[in-house]
Homo-oligomer: A and B are copies of this chain.
C-alpha cells in the first residue's frame, strides 16, 4: 500500500563528492555535494546542484573551473565538515589536513587523499531554484594506482565511495551484477 507525500527530492542513492574550486586570487576551497551526477558520456559532462549562497557557487561562476574528487568512506568526517563549514570563514584544506595537489588543466587543486579526481571546465549554469545547476565538462581524470586493477579499471571495493540516502551517509556492500548481464533477455 502506497502513501502519497508532498513533493521532495527522492532519488537515491546519490554520490557524495568533494568539489574543489579557487578564487580569482588563488585561494582554494572544498565543498561537499550530493546533488551531483554524470549526465552525458560524450563529451563527459557532470551536473552539480549548488545553493547560490554557498561560497563555492561564486568561485565556480567566476573562474569557470572545478575538480570533482571522489572521497573514500575513511574521509567521512572531513566530508561532513566540508559540507557544514563555509570557505568564507575558514580554510578547509588547513582544518581538514586534506592535501591540495596541482591539477593539470585547471587552477583548482586535486585532493590527494581522494582516489579519483576529475578536472572540469564549466560549460553552463542554469538557474533552477534554491539550488542552481552547473554543467561541467571533464577534461582529464586522475586515478590512484592503488585502486586500479591489472586491466587499468577502477576497483570500487578499494575506493569505498560514500552513498547518500537523503540525510544519511551509507557504505557500499558488493557488486551484484554488471551492466548488460541480461543481454536484453528476460
Please report which residues of chain A, range 105-164, place their CB below 8 angstroms from some CB of chain B when the two chains form the complex.
110, 116-118, 124, 126, 128-133, 135, 137-146, 148, 154, 156, 159, 161-164
Interface centre among A36, A78, A177 (most CB of B within 10 A): A177
With A4-B141, A41-B130, A169-B179 given, name 14 new contacts (CB 8 A): A4-B104, A6-B141, A7-B43, A9-B39, A13-B161, A14-B37, A39-B131, A40-B131, A41-B131, A43-B129, A77-B186, A83-B180, A85-B186, A168-B177
Q: Out of B11, B47, B163, B178, name the residue touching A168 (CB < 8 Å).
A: B178
**Distance in Å: Cβ of A151 to nearest Cβ of chain B:** 12
Q: Which residues of B contact A126 (CB under 8 A)?
A: 124, 126, 135
Q: Which residues of B contact A180 (CB under 8 A)?
A: 80, 83-84
How far apart sit A179 and B14, CA to CA, in the bound complex (Å)? 13
Q: Which residues of B contact A116 (CB under 8 A)?
A: 10
B176 and A173 contacting across the interface, CB-CB below 8 Å: no
B12 and A84 contacting across the interface, CB-CB below 8 Å: no
Knowing A45-B9, A133-B135, A166-B154 are in contact, say whether A179-B80 is a contact too (CB < 8 A): yes
Q: Which residues of B contact A130 (CB under 8 A)?
A: 40-42
B5 and A141 contacting across the interface, CB-CB below 8 Å: yes
Q: Which residues of B contact A14 (CB under 8 A)?
A: 15, 37-38
- Write the A40-61 contact mask toward B (1 if CB under 8 angstroms, else 0): 1111111101000000000000
Q: A31 within 8 Å of B by Cβ?
A: no
Q: Out of B10, B142, B164, name the residue touching A138 (CB < 8 Å).
A: B10
Task: State the 8 A-B residue pairs at the shortest beta-carbon distance, nearest first.
Answer: A37-B37, A84-B184, A9-B38, A173-B173, A40-B131, A39-B49, A40-B128, A7-B138
